[in-house]
Amino acid sequence: MMDPLSVTASVIAVTTLALQSCKAAYNLADGLAEAPQAIARSKASLTETQKTLGALQQTLKAGSAPHSELEAVLRTIDLNETLMSAKRLCDEYTAAIARFTSHSTEGKFSKRDRLVVNLQESKMNKFSKELGDCQRTMSMVLVSINLTRTADDVRRIGDQFQAQEQALADLDAHLRNRETSPASEEGSASDRNASLQLAAELRKVCQEALAATEAQRTGQKFGDMSTDDQSLAMQGIVGEAQGGVEQSFGRMTTSKNSRAFQGQIDAASFAMMFGKG
């Protein structure tokens, strides 16, 4: 297993490689004048992927301290394979475009190359779809990372957690459909198998992100607690009971008429326990 202290550094390194490949692919496509529509569509996918990878890179660098919350999240969500898939797609795209447009210049797209690109339109569209799936998955992971880093008050931002969990569930359903669709797509058997493998890989990351998000929303961890000399203390939730919340506690010690509780307690019982009189 990877050293936990190297998890964030590893993901940052792979993110940087993927971003470099994405920029190279975009720059090549952007330098083609009067390019066919298929290339224009792929440029849109590359643009969105660049934005997501750039934002991910910044977030990872900002939270890269050892033993940080980010380290724990990245041990739950194995993002490296998705990043490497995005890099592979961009590298393959760069090689294909260079091959398809060998007769074109910055100022003019040759008729011969236009014909070749139009004949390869299904392959270009496949690239845009698959890179789009990678980008959407990485974007969802980025949202989950940001939620876990800012969720000091889960109840206050509960709607954001619910929206993220629904978005991840929707993405999982989309990728599940993608797993069943390669058989109907054009291309070789190896291409269809690669598409199937990519969809399965992205689903795995999506499900890991969903698990991490749900765990942050429903999990509370507390250390040891000690009260003394008629003091009062609490760990947990006061008020309306919240289902599905997992709580873990350290050792609780009370002495000298002090009072404390761990867990969930309704408002009336809390008032009786901690009220004056």
> For residue 1, what pLDDT is reported?
42
Q: Are residues 231 and 184 in the same domain?
A: no
Q: Are residues 81 and 177 in the same domain?
A: yes
Closest CA to 43 of 19, 26, 64: 26
> For residue 2, what pLDDT is reported?
47
> For residue 277, what pLDDT is reported?
44
> For residue 120, what pLDDT is reported?
92
What span, in angstroms and rounded, lies between the C-alpha atoms of 106 and 124?
20
- Provide the Cα torsion 177, 179, 181, 183; round to 10°: -160
Q: Are residues 148 and 194 in the same domain?
A: yes
Contact residues for 236 (Cβ-Cβ < 8 A; gap 6+):
220, 222, 247, 261, 262, 263, 264, 265
As beta bridge partners, residue 233 has 260
Q: Are residues 201 and 267 in the same domain?
A: no
Q: Are residues 160 and 236 in the same domain?
A: no
> For residue 272, what pLDDT is reported?
65
Q: Are residues 262 and 192 in the same domain?
A: no
Helix (H) or strand (E) segment spanning residue 183: none
Q: Are residues 238 and 157 in the same domain?
A: no
Residues 34, 104 contacting (CB under 8 angstroms): no
Q: Are residues 126 and 178 in the same domain?
A: yes
Tokens representing 184?
């109907």
What span, in angstroms and rounded, lies between the C-alpha atoms of 200 and 72?
23
Tokens representing 236?
């947990």
Range of the domain at 251: 225-274
What averages of pLDDT result for each successive group of 10 residues across the chain (277 residues)? 67 96 96 89 95 93 70 86 96 95 86 92 92 94 78 56 77 80 64 84 84 65 58 56 58 72 66 56
> For residue 10, what pLDDT is reported?
92
Our count of domains for the chain comes to 2
Q: Are residues 210 and 229 in the same domain?
A: no
> For residue 88, what pLDDT is reported?
97
What span, in angstroms and rounded, lies between the C-alpha atoms of 6 and 110?
48
